[in-house]
């Protein structure tokens, strides 16, 4: 087996970054962070208390009001964003190593996420210089136009599954549009976030535009969400946390974007290219260790191909290379944290009473320690099963047969979630009609999960609120003020006008 690769110069203490400086919490509070191969602590992390969040928000507010960032020409901001993308690209090896070490993601997949993070900055760098807004003319009478403005301090709260990429996804549009930010990464995976301050500094982002706080969701996250000087909250995480945040933000009518969980169906019809469908459905649930919001974690297969497809699926799952996250041959690494490992293992035990176990079913063989789960396949899972309904967020799949299109649709829509869906068929009409009828924010037809950055990302039902991606992110992070100008006389009804009230010319 390959050696566990520990990144060089691994920091042992991580600090907040506020107003251009690395700082500890005012009261010195910290928490410990573990890496998922040994589950040993490798660093202490500053733990933000309300007074630290106050400091970070004050810094962002000051930078928004008084700094150059929010009033800079889009072209100037764009240059900084392109530089950020260049630096992220040039450091992708180092970044992937840190990410993989901290989260347990296989190194090759972590590299892909690093490249995607760079792409997010490049994309919004280009978008803000080509941004256009509406203008409407009523000939001879009125001109109306939209004045788009940044909003202020954005609170960005991110999950642990692909941390750096998730952070880039929010950071790039938030700062591209001229806002300033306070970001709180997930406590399981703080490591890669410490690269942002260096990257931003080198790229020329003014101090105070980016502020980073570490700390628990229930203290630092909650305080940030309720902070009166933070009008925008973008959150990615669990649906129940999304509901809590939504309630906390409601009294102040904040702009909210919630990207939440999923239990996405992958529907395989008998007329599909079955080899391609097999590759994609196996990858769709086991990539990123199954810790993927858009994972196709319910595979629905048409009856006439069911037995063969399920057998082939289970065979693939058994052959998946589970291994050290840092080993380039690894396909499934170690889950992020022992608590999450326990959660996934408990679903596997539930699954044994709800489906036919065909692969995996527990700790991966040969890995007595660490959070390694064998890729697990349950077949014949009924729609009322918990493993069919609930998000497991690990390498576990529920496979269910169907006979007709109607039954497939009913099964596909039969959960509280509605994030993604995947449909495999060679019938063009069926593909589109089926896609249109699915309750999900995104559908991939005969395709693995590849998303053009211009398209909207988000879910329906318990999978979220709002859309980010492309110009929709720009809409979320800006306010659109409409300006009306009269071109001729202002024709107002003359309330209260009589001879005595005339204005002397």
Catalytic residue annotation: 259, 293
Which of 149, 91, 86, 153 shows the shortest CA–CA distance to 121?
86
- The least distance separating ligand NDP from the CB of residue 95, rounded to whole angstroms, comes to 18
- The least distance separating ligand NDP from the CB of residue 221, rounded to whole angstroms, comes to 2
Cβ-proximal residue to ligand NDP, closest one: 217
Which of 443, 447, 421, 417 shows the shortest CA–CA distance to 259?
417
Tokens 């990257």, residue located:
199
Q: Which is nearer to ligand NDP, 289 or 425 (CB)?
A: 289
Distance CA 156, CA 171 (A): 8
Question: Taking the CB of residue 256, how many other CB atoms lie within 10 A of it?
Answer: 19
Distance CA 60, CA 229 (A): 9
- The least distance separating ligand NDP from the CB of residue 292, rounded to whole angstroms, comes to 7
DSSP annotation of 52: H
- The least distance separating ligand NDP from the CB of residue 192, rounded to whole angstroms, comes to 14
- The least distance separating ligand NDP from the CB of residue 453, rounded to whole angstroms, comes to 14
- The least distance separating ligand NDP from the CB of residue 149, rounded to whole angstroms, comes to 26
Virtual torsion, Cα 280, 281, 282, 285, nearest 10 deg: 120
**CA distance to 5, 94, 263, 346, 395, per residue, from 284 (Å):** 27, 26, 12, 22, 10
Asked whether the beta carbons of 249 and 227 are under 8 A apart, the reply is no
Distance CA 138, CA 487 (A): 9
Q: List interacting residues with ligand NDP (CB under 6 A).
A: 157-161, 184, 186-187, 216-218, 221-222, 225, 236-238, 241, 244-245, 259-262, 293, 391, 393, 419, 459, 464
258: which strand partners?
Answer: 235, 465
Which of 409, 432, 426, 405 shows the shortest CA–CA distance to 303?
405
Q: Could you tell me the two tokens for 363?
A: 């700790």
């Amino acid at each position: 087996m390959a050696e566990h690769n520990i990144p060089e110069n691994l920091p042992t203490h991580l600090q907040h970054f506020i107003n251009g400086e690395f700082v500890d919490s005012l009261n010195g509070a910290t928490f410990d962070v573990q890496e998922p191969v040994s589950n040993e602590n490798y660093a202490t992390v500053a733990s933000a208390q309300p007074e630290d969040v106050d400091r970070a928000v004050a810094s962002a507010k000051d930078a928004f009001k008084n700094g150059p960032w929010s009033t800079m020409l889009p072209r100037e901001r764009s240059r900084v964003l392109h530089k950020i993308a260049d630096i992220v690209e040039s450091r992708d090896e180092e970044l992937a190593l840190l990410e993989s070490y901290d989260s347990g993601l296989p190194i090759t997949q972590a590299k892909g996420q690093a490249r995607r993070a760079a792409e997010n900055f490049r994309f919004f760098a280009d978008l803000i210089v080509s941004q256009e807004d509406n203008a409407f003319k009523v000939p001879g009478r009125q001109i109306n136009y939209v004045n788009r403005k940044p909003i202020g301090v954005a609170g960005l709260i991110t999950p642990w599954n692909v941390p750096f990429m998730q952070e880039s996804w929010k950071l790039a549009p938030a700062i591209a549009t001229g806002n300033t930010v306070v970001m709180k990464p997930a406590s399981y995976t703080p490591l890669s976030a410490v690269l942002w301050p260096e990257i931003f500094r080198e790229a020329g982002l003014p101090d105070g535009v980016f502020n980073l706080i570490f700390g628990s969701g229930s203290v630092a996250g909650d305080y940030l969400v309720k902070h009166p000087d933070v009008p925008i909250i973008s959150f990615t995480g669990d649906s129940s946390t999304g509901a809590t945040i939504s309630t906390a933000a409601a009294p102040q009518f904040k702009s909210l974007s919630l990207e939440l969980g999923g239990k996405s169906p992958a529907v395989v019809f008998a007329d599909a290219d079955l080899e391609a469908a097999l590759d994609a459905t196996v990858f769709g649930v086991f990539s990123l260790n199954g810790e993927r919001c858009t994972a196709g974690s319910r595979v629905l297969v048409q009856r006439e191909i069911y037995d063969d497809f399920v057998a082939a699926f289970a065979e693939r799952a058994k052959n998946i290379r589970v291994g050290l996250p840092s080993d380039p041959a690894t396909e499934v690494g170690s889950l992020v944290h022992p608590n999450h490992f326990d959660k996934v293992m408990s679903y596997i035990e539930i699954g044994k009473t709800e489906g036919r176990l065909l692969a995996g079913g527990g700790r991966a063989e040969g890995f007595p320690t660490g959070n390694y789960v064998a890729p697990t396949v349950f077949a014949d899972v009924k729609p009322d099963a918990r493993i069919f309904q609930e998000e497991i967020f690990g390498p576990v799949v529920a496979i269910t047969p169907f006979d007709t299109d109607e039954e497939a649709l009913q099964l596909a829509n039969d959960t509280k979630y509605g994030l993604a869906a995947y449909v495999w068929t060679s019938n063009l009409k069926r593909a589109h009609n089926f896609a249109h009828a699915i309750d999900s924010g995104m559908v991939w037809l005969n395709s693995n999960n590849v998303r053009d950055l211009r398209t909207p990302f988000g879910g329906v039902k318990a999978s979220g609120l709002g859309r980010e991606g492309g110009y929709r992110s720009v809409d979320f992070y800006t306010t659109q003020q409409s300006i009306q100008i009269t071109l001729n006389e202002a024709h107002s009804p003359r309330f209260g006008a009589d001879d005595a009230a005339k204005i002397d010319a």
